[in-house]
Chains A and B, each alone.
Chain A
């Protein structure tokens, strides 16, 4: 917190950050689990309508960062603003309101496995958007399932879907409420190259269509290449590189360039 002000001005000067309003603004984020310092000093911001890709080794704490953003994990230290609101200072009600504006795609898809795909889609519509017109709900569900190509699996149970289908269904469930900010946790991991590409294009499409802001965590370079406006590389609890996909790819840093081999 102490160095925030100075750093902020520095960053702004350097990167001419005046392009748009900042949706996410993070300074000095620290988080440790027990003795393990997972995040040491995380600073970044995401502008409205931007797709930011986060790269990093497995277990480096990428998921922890976005979990901090939605208040699932409370950070040890640091300033953390989403839509201009300090997340750790929010009351339960405010946090709920904030979360409604954010879509979070879990690494595992996290479909509710006691419900059919259709009921999975309806769940946030009824409970979060408080919709009660059944026709409208059905229309919306069908629309979003069509966009991820799952319309014919609408009445299947999650256990009857393949891994890729589950991921797409999870994506559809996050999209169905039209969030302003999307947090994708490894949207393409475990999928074949063709499906991966489809999903990556879908992510890009969503950004275009709904003007959403996104953070995409991935190990998949193709996905990063397709979706990224900007790339952040996480190592040892800090972002060690930042720039467009091409910039980061041509980085001299051995660790950073090792991602692109």
Chain B
């Protein structure tokens, strides 16, 4: 029993060490000349543009549902006019970034994990390396940068759609002009709400790309390892998202107050 626990811990530390050295490799290749622009743009398309429908729909529905659920409670307080404010704060600070990140972990991290995993299994990564090309620069750097850039953008657009969903929900019951609604939303937000949330999403994006690449790039050569890479990428990325979320909240609270 104790042995098993010890083994588990050791495995965990070994994995952490591996991730760290993978990070080092990524970082070194980040500043190497010959950045793969075309592949980067393609990844942005695959990761950003193609995830937009999913993220946007989910965010819209989240905003809608959130508004519908919050309304009765706020009416109970006689504070119905607080609805835009509550929506804006909760969507921009927490729900938007985390929901988007979790969806991206499910879609993007697993996609990257599976793609690189299968490239590993079919020796494509080895072939690239052996031919003298730089697979880390071509495959890993572009993907990690693409997620790091695209997840924040997805989140921002998701926030807007989420607030729009809230607007639709409010307008089912009452009648608020879009302008007034957005004015109220904006006026209830400060930089101290927007910036930590935005910075957080950059980390989310990085972690999604990094974990996906790490799991795929370091998967074994069996066929089953493709599924394993995809699966463990989602799990690890989701976990990291919540950990980062907690850390960012703490740090930004310390900095702001």
Contact = CB atoms under 8 A, between A and B. Distances in A.
Do these two chains really belong together in a complex?
Answer: yes
Interface of A: 70, 72, 96-97, 99-100, 102-104, 106-108, 110-114, 123-124, 127-128, 170, 173-174, 177
B126 A106 contact: yes
Contacts of A72: 126, 129-130
Contacts of A107: 123
B250 interface: no
Interface string B3-44: 000000000000000000000000000000010000000000
Given A108-B123, A110-B124, A112-B124, A127 B129 contact: no
Contacts of B138: 127
Given A107-B123, A110-B126, A170-B127, 18 more contacts: A70-B130, A72-B126, A96-B134, A99-B129, A99-B130, A99-B132, A100-B131, A103-B131, A106-B127, A108-B122, A110-B124, A112-B119, A113-B119, A124-B131, A127-B34, A127-B138, A128-B131, A173-B131
Contacts of B132: 96-97, 99-100, 124, 128
B178 interface: no
Contacts of B119: 112-113
B-side binding surface: helix, strand, loop or mixed?
helix
A108 B123 CA distance: 7
A127 B133 contact: yes
A20 B127 CA distance: 29
Nearest to B42: A114
Nearest to B115: A114
A29 B34 CA distance: 36
A192 B81 CA distance: 77
5 contacts: A97-B132, A99-B130, A102-B130, A107-B123, A170-B127
Contacts of B131: 99-100, 103-104, 124, 128, 173-174, 177
B124 A124 contact: no
Contacts of A99: 129-132
B130 A104 contact: yes
Nearest to A114: B115
Ordered nearest first, which 9 A-B pairs have the shortest CB separation? Answer: A110-B127, A100-B132, A99-B132, A110-B123, A127-B133, A104-B130, A106-B123, A128-B132, A110-B124
Contacts of A174: 131
Contacts of A103: 131
Contacts of A70: 130
Interface string B105-129: 0000000000100110011101111
Nearest to B134: A127
A177 B128 CA distance: 13
B126 A124 contact: no
A174 B131 CA distance: 8
A123 B129 CA distance: 12
Nearest to B125: A110
